[in-house]
Amino acid sequence: MPEPNRRRPRAARHIQIADQIGRQIVTGEISPGSALQNMTDLAKSMAVSRSALREAIKLLAGKGLLEMSPRRGTVVRDRKAWNFFDENVLNWRVGPTLNAAFLRDLYELRRIIEPEAAASAAVRATPAMLAELERTLERLERIDPSTAESVIADVALHQTILEASGNDFLIALAPAIATCLAMAFSLQRRACPSRDHFIHDHGSIVRAICRGDADEAREFMRRLLRQAEIDATTSLSRKAQDH
């Protein structure tokens, strides 16, 4: 939810090139296994310098989209190699609006991970992490739910629960899913902007974790995710009807 009157700085040329090629790859315009044109021809067709193109290729290779083949040159990698948690890859996949397939995959992932993370947090969270959870919840409770700041606070709370789990793999996942969560929460807010609609369940989760009640923390998180998916799907359906 960027501020409408604030101008964004123009991206560097190699980032613009990476955005163009990356979008073509993720949307299927350039399919996995395909080889890009050789560097000279591609730079000429895009009206860019070879050096800027090389930097763009390196950027996309770092996201798992491209690899260098001795015989074929620069080749699009299979989808299973793509870093779908990368912010750019996510934005290219989603496009201008979220879609049902993205929501299905996201909430399936959350159902697999977050209830058990909450249960683990109830058992393992340190006093410092519990204090951080309470502070983050208080921040979420204070902020107007219709604002971008509310979405940021909501994301922070879910990330803190992952961090409080004490599991290094879940901790590493926390920043990676931030962009996914921000997209989903923004959609949910449009369907149900009332503070009362979502604050209560967040509070129930945090209080269960602070009490050390793993079963309740797990169940409250499951309840929150069920409602969150309904809200996001409802908002998506309304947007489709409006268009």
User: 68 or 216, which is more confident?
Assistant: 216
Residue 9 has pLDDT above 60, yes or no: no
On whether the pTM is more than 0.85, the answer is: no
The pLDDT value recorded for residue 5 is 45
Cα(85)–Cα(67) distance, rounded to whole angstroms? Answer: 19
**What SS3 string covers 166-196?**
CCHHHHHHHHHCHHHHHHHHHHHHHHCCCHH
Strands (DSSP E) found in 52-208: 66-69, 73-76
Mean of the per-residue pLDDT values for the chain? 90
CATH dotted code for 13-81:
1.10.10.10
Exposed (0-12), middle (13-18) or buried (19+): which is 101, by Cβ within 10 Å? exposed
Residue 4 has pLDDT above 50, yes or no: no
The pLDDT value recorded for residue 190 is 81
Q: Write the DSSP symbol of residue 10.
A: P
Tens of pLDDT, residue by residue over 48-104, are 999 999 999 999 999 999 999 888 899 999 999 999 888 899 889 877 667 888 889
CATH class of 97-242: mainly alpha
The pLDDT value recorded for residue 192 is 78
**Side chain identity at residue 45, one-letter code:** S
Give the SS3 label for residue 66.
Answer: strand
**Over pLDDT 90: what percentage of the chain?**
67
The pLDDT value recorded for residue 52 is 95
Tens of pLDDT, residue by residue over 17-35, are 999 999 999 999 999 999 9
> Residue 67: CB partners within 8 Å, gap ≥ 6?
61, 74, 75, 77, 81
The pLDDT value recorded for residue 189 is 84
The pLDDT value recorded for residue 11 is 67
pLDDT band for position 169 (cuts 50, 70, 90): very high
* CATH 1.10.10.10, the chain: domain bounds: 13-81
pLDDT band for position 240 (cuts 50, 70, 90): low
Q: Write the DSSP symbol of residue 77.
A: P
Q: Write the DSSP symbol of residue 79.
A: G
The pLDDT value recorded for residue 85 is 85
* CATH 1.20.120.530, the chain: domain bounds: 97-242
